[in-house]
Structure 1
Amino acid sequence: MSFALGFKPPSSAGSSGPGAGGGATMENLEKQLICPVCLEMFSKPVVILPCQHNLCRKCANDIFQSANPAWQSRGSSSMAVSGSRFRCPSCRHEVVLDRHGVYGLQRNLLVENIIDLYRQQESSRVVDVKPEQQQHLMCEEHEEEKINIYCLSCQTPTCSMCKVFGKHKDCDVAPLGSVYTRQKTELSDGIANLVASNDHIQAVISQMEEICRIIEENGQRQRERLADRFDRLVSILEERKQELVGLIAEQQDEKLKRVRSLIRRHGDDLEVAVTLVETAIQSMEEPHMALFIQSANVILEKMAATARPSNMELPELGYERMSHFVIDTDDLAVMLMNIDFCPGVGDDGEDDPEEGGEESELEFCSRY
């Protein structure tokens, strides 16, 4: 269906035409975009509170400043103290801020986009148009007829002549104004539903962001616990190693002490025997028989008292061995390599600190 744009005086005065419904729709939409603090349309940026109500950032900052007079602005050298708070002016829900203050609140980009669209729509509307200057779409097939009905079958605007004599005579039609009003209402409801669904989506996003934060904190806490438990195992192994090494060193020193004592004693005996040999050799050169016999008797007595190799004290057979200091670590090594988290521990959440229970220790099991 083709149609042209023309001018026609309205059939009746007043605000009962399609424009009246559109104005009411835009007015209802504007009410949804009013800040509860300044009572003006939201100014960018628009922030969304944890309770899902919206405020201009400036208004949120003014409320926060009045509730926390000691807090300094973002441009100062000191940051806001984490945990500062104020109450939502719509529902009185307490809003707790982080160290960034109101600048840490998330922007509601959907509301900002709706405001932009609303203002563009308002700027494009014809203001103070006189009734005789109102524009009407004219039918191209019937140039003197304005578009005043809507073909429901073809889903296109048309004129009365097309319905009576034209190609839409067998189609279902409805007054253009009623279709206009109905679709304006549907569009307004769709915008309202979209704004409402945005609040729900924003709440879900905030909830999932909080879940991400808790996951990061729990992961860091469990990593620290895991490292602490392994450090304790390493400490126990190191302590036990020092104890066992000490036992080996103690017996080694004891055996060395005994063998070295025997070496010193036999060394002394050897020195005496060497001296005795030298004395005996010298006595062999004595020319006088009487003196020789006298000195030989003394030397023979000393030789009799000197220890023989067969009578020397020696360490027991295998005394030098240390092979009895043996530990079997194969099973322990396999067990350590199979250390794993115990399945099912903490699944019921009874000891989850986030649920208010006592903080539980990290649990390990071995698959061995």
Structure 2
Amino acid sequence: MNFAVGLKPLLAEARSMESLEKQLICPICLEMFSKPVVILPCQHNLCRKCANDVFQASNPLWQSRGSSAVPSGGRFRCPSCRHEVVLDRHGVYGLQRNLLVENIIDIYKQESARPLHAKAEQHLMCEEHEDERINIYCLRCEVPTCSLCKVFGAHKDCEVAPLPAVYQRQKSELSDGIAMLVAGNDRIQAIITQMEEICHTIEENGRRQKQHVGLRFDALYGILEERKKELLQSIAAEQEAKLQRVRGLIRQYGDHLEASSKLVESAIQAMEEPQMALYLQHSKELLKKITDMSKASMSSRPEPGYENMDHFSINVDYVAEMLRTIEFQTEPLGEDEGDGPGDGSEAAADEDRLDSLEVPEAAEDVGPRQKPASSPHGQH
């Protein structure tokens, strides 16, 4: 019997297990990962205990997980790629566990616990030929079988291959499948991390744009309030001027009425004077005062409609319509243009809206002004 041929699959399996063991070494303690195993955002794995030791050494002010006095975590640098990670208040205990690596460790330890010679001594026997070991593989039926089955049995017309070769090939395929699965999980984890960053960016951009729109509307509110204040001041100024004039006239008429009343009282008292000589001494002066009082001009009064304030009416329908048409811009602006409070493109758009709404009024005003210009041509 050729023992060298029988040892080749065992040596190949030992090399495969050694290669797998190298992938399961922690870069901190240089030993096989001890559970639980945590995965960093850079996709490298560490023992959680080792990661916690390094984290606490680089963040001496950070307390244990059980303390509630620490509102935030610290910084952790990956020992493999030196990528810096900002951890939350849970520290390394907030990192995600890599359950796939832990399961592979369990499988590896179970396989390593079995000695090679025990594996070599385990042989399955053929069910049809009890004294024959299963040592070949039927490629057509895809089942292990023995040499007698190939010579005399059910697989005599089938193509076969040595069992170790098929075993090594399928085990290599399984190992490649495991590596592919691990790589796929790493890619999925990277995609998840990227999508989480996208979510954070979306939230931040939405918050910034809400603040930007709020500031723009606050500026509009300020413009409306300022214009409202100016218009109200104009109304108040004319109101005060008219009131002062009318109140001045009221005082004039009041003074005239008071003087006329006193003159009437004096005239009545003079009428009651019994002595004619004494009456005649004062009657001429009294008659002159009455004549002057009656001739006094009190025709000054407010003209009709003086109290009317309707000329202060305003029409804000076109402004309201323009405000209702405010929409988001279809073309994105640069940072310098979008952040400025007096954006030129927005101002131009507002002017275009105002011009489009004011065109009918302008057309009405142009018509009458053009008529005098056409009349001389009609005379000629």
Matches of 2:338 and 2:23, distance apart in 1 = 46
2:51 equivalent in structure 1: 60
1:84 equivalent in structure 2: 75
Count of residues in correspondence between the two structures: 346
Matches of 1:234 and 1:248, distance apart in 2 = 21
Letter in 1 for 2:58: A
Measured after TM superposition, the shift of residue 181 of structure 1 is 0.8
2:375 equivalent in structure 1: none
Measured after TM superposition, the shift of residue 203 of structure 1 is 2.6
| 2:182 alignment partner, one of 182, 192, 195 | 195
Letter in 1 for 2:50: C
What TM-score results when the alignment is normalised by the length of structure 1?
0.79
CA contact (8 A) 1:46 1:57 kept: yes
Q: How does 1:131-170 map to 2 (within 5 A)?
A: 134-170=121-157
| 2:27 alignment partner, one of 19, 25, 36 | 36
C-alpha spacing 1:85/1:143, structure 2 compared with 1 (3 Å): closer
* Stretch moving more, 19-28 or 201-210: 19-28
C-alpha spacing 1:238/1:198, structure 2 compared with 1 (3 Å): same
1:97 aligns with 2:97: no
Where 2:184 maps in the other structure, the secondary structure is: helix
1:239 aligns with 2:226: yes
Matches of 1:278 and 1:360, distance apart in 2 = 81
2:236 equivalent in structure 1: 249
Structure number with the bigger relative contact order (C-alpha 8 A, sep ≥ 6) is: 1
| 1:329 alignment partner, one of 306, 312, 316 | 316
Where 2:123 maps in the other structure, the secondary structure is: strand
Q: How does 1:184-223 map to 2 (within 5 A)?
A: 184-223=171-210
2:359 equivalent in structure 1: none
1:46 equivalent in structure 2: 37
Matches of 1:15 and 1:359, distance apart in 2 = 76
Measured after TM superposition, the shift of residue 169 of structure 1 is 2.6
| Greater fraction helix | 2
1:301 aligns with 2:288: yes
CA contact (8 A) 2:253 2:298 kept: no
Deviations 1:244-302 (A, max 9, x none): 21221122112111111111211221222233334444544555655555555444322
Measured after TM superposition, the shift of residue 71 of structure 1 is 4.2
C-alpha spacing 1:55/1:273, structure 2 compared with 1 (3 Å): same
Letter in 2 for 1:95: E
1:261 aligns with 2:261: no
Matches of 1:312 and 1:258, distance apart in 2 = 14
1:108 equivalent in structure 2: 98
Deviations 1:169-206 (A, max 9, x none): 33222222211111111111222232233333333322
C-alpha spacing 1:109/1:217, structure 2 compared with 1 (3 Å): farther
Letter in 1 for 2:155: H
C-alpha spacing 1:25/1:358, structure 2 compared with 1 (3 Å): farther
| 2:304 alignment partner, one of 302, 309, 317 | 317
Matches of 1:250 and 1:219, distance apart in 2 = 46
Matches of 1:309 and 1:256, distance apart in 2 = 24
1:25 aligns with 2:44: no
Matches of 1:99 and 1:15, distance apart in 2 = 55
Letter in 2 for 1:184: K
1:175 aligns with 2:162: yes
Matches of 2:163 and 2:28, distance apart in 1 = 41
C-alpha spacing 1:255/1:60, structure 2 compared with 1 (3 Å): same
Matches of 1:35 and 1:308, distance apart in 2 = 120
* Stretch moving more, 289-298 or 260-269: 289-298
Deviations 1:71-113 (A, max 9, x none): 4444445438766343x3333x241424434344443343234
Matches of 2:206 and 2:86, distance apart in 1 = 24
Structure 1, unaligned stretches of length 5 or more?
1-9, 352-356
